[in-house]
Amino acid sequence: MDLFNLSVNRSLGLNHQFNRTLIIFMIDAEQVITQTKKWVTEVVVGCNFCPFAAKPVRRGSIHYQVEPAADEQSCLDALLRECHRLDEQPAIETTLLIFPDAYPGFDDYLDLVALAEDLLAAQGYEGIYQVAGFHPDYRFAEAPADDPANYTNRSLYPMLHLIREEGIDQALAHYTDPEGIADRNIDFAREKGLVYLKMLRDNCL
């Protein structure tokens, strides 16, 4: 075999390997999105943890994006791309950016949330988009790890929720007693208990 054919064969082999990796990622990403959609429908909407979530779910106006990278810069770059997507596609009401292979530790994840907020401010998005956090081990400040109320924000995967500020203002304007949402969620979660809420979430996998 001459050097040219050897080079071509190697190139074809690399392309085949790249295509196979891409297909595997696409399948995995689709599975992650399917699971996350189920969690949104059955936990977030089903338990009414967010009374504003049902409408975009019905409309299909939530964008789900999986970021396969695990390093900080790639995750922040992905967030900025989603900001640009919202800029260009007003029909998208909100975005869930999912990191299935990054930030398994909650403390490290909180650092990402802080960096994400700083990035939005630096890029001129303060007052336009807001970041909210969901994580499998989410824990509210001062709350014990086994408090069932943590499950209001305990997702299947670490993720950043990118929300239009304008949409929040519109939703709050038509909702009675928005200040009481958090307390109602805490009461509901504690009434249902840790075992029930964990089972409800994990059944979405």
Domain boundaries, the chain: 33-202
pLDDT at residue 12, as a whole number: 44
Residues 6+ apart with CB under 8 A from 153: 133, 134, 135, 138, 140
| Cβ count near 116 (within 10 Å) | 19
pLDDT tens, residue order, the chain (205 aa): 454 454 444 544 545 554 555 455 666 999 999 999 999 999 999 999 999 999 999 999 999 999 999 999 999 999 999 999 999 999 999 999 999 999 999 999 999 999 999 999 999 999 999 999 999 999 999 999 999 999 999 999 999 999 999 988 887 777 788 889 999 999 999 999 999 999 999 999 9
Write the pLDDT tens digit of every residue in 115-138.
Answer: 999 999 999 999 999 999 999 999
Q: pTM of the full predicted structure?
A: 0.87
DSSP-assigned beta bridge partners for residue 161: 96, 132
Contact 83, 123 (CB under 8 A): yes
